[in-house]
Amino acid sequence: MNYAVVIPAAGQGRRMQAAVNKAFLTLQGRPIIAHTLAVFQADPRCERIVLVASENELDEMQALAEEAGATKADRVVAGGSERQDSVRAGAAQVMDAPLLLVHDGARPFVAIERIHALLLEAEQSGAALLAVPATDTIKQVDQEGRVKQTLKRSELWAAQTPQAFRPEVLQQAYAYADETGFQGTDDVSLVEAAGGEVAVVEGDYDNIKLTTPEDMTLAEAILAKRAGEAGT
């Protein structure tokens, strides 16, 4: 099934500690967001890209999308103060798509095979996400800095994007969020909160979100590895 993707890039990138929104930082000479756009531009099953930018970066983001040849990103929309607000503004543009994906602008390394596996699952389940098994042991810690409990690692997965939805499932989740004021840190959590089922599709560890300066070093290493694999 074909899909439309919403790409939120309207954050401030505070943890990256750069002078600009991290979406504009470059990897091998191209802005992070251009790398991300290229993945979906190249996927024949992606019908449309809705890029979400902050109000004061709309023109810059539009120009960048054009320069990157991202013809599917024909509309850049203004985001909001929280990620959930930004995604919602973007999703409103494409609720008529057969399937809807949400993918972080700051996650440029998602593999097309994983996207297609996710689509298949979302078609069946209504909502699905890519995730990887947790590698660290995760502790729940109280306000005083004391461990409350150690969570069972074999049951823990780190959520990634894309997260995929049948549009009516996302619509219902938004209705629930409106009623209750629920705020999630990812998109499928709205479906979970509304009592819906969410399926997990195993992703890969290269699909990192560029969050801190150290991630930029890791990103260059991932690109170098790929260039090596491609024999260039």
**Footprint of ligand CTP on residues 39-78 (CB under 6 A)?**
52
Q: Does 20 bind ligand CTP (CB under 6 A)?
A: no
- Judged by CB, which is closer to ligand CTP: 43, or 104? 104
Smallest gap from Cβ 79 to ligand CTP, in A, equals 4
Q: Does 206 bind ligand CTP (CB under 6 A)?
A: no
Q: Does 215 bind ligand CTP (CB under 6 A)?
A: no
Q: Does 225 bind ligand CTP (CB under 6 A)?
A: no
Q: Does 6 bind ligand CTP (CB under 6 A)?
A: no
Q: Does 32 bind ligand CTP (CB under 6 A)?
A: no
* Binding test (CB under 6 A) with ligand CTP, winner from 1, 2, 12, 59: 12
Q: Does 169 bind ligand CTP (CB under 6 A)?
A: no
Q: Does 162 bind ligand CTP (CB under 6 A)?
A: no
- Judged by CB, which is closer to ligand CTP: 105, or 196? 105
Identify which of 219, 210, 177, 208 has the alpha carbon closest to the alpha carbon of residue 194: 177
**Footprint of Mg ion on residues 31-90 (CB under 5 A)?**
none
Binding site for ligand CTP (CB under 6 A): 8-15, 23, 52, 79-83, 86, 104-106, 209, 211
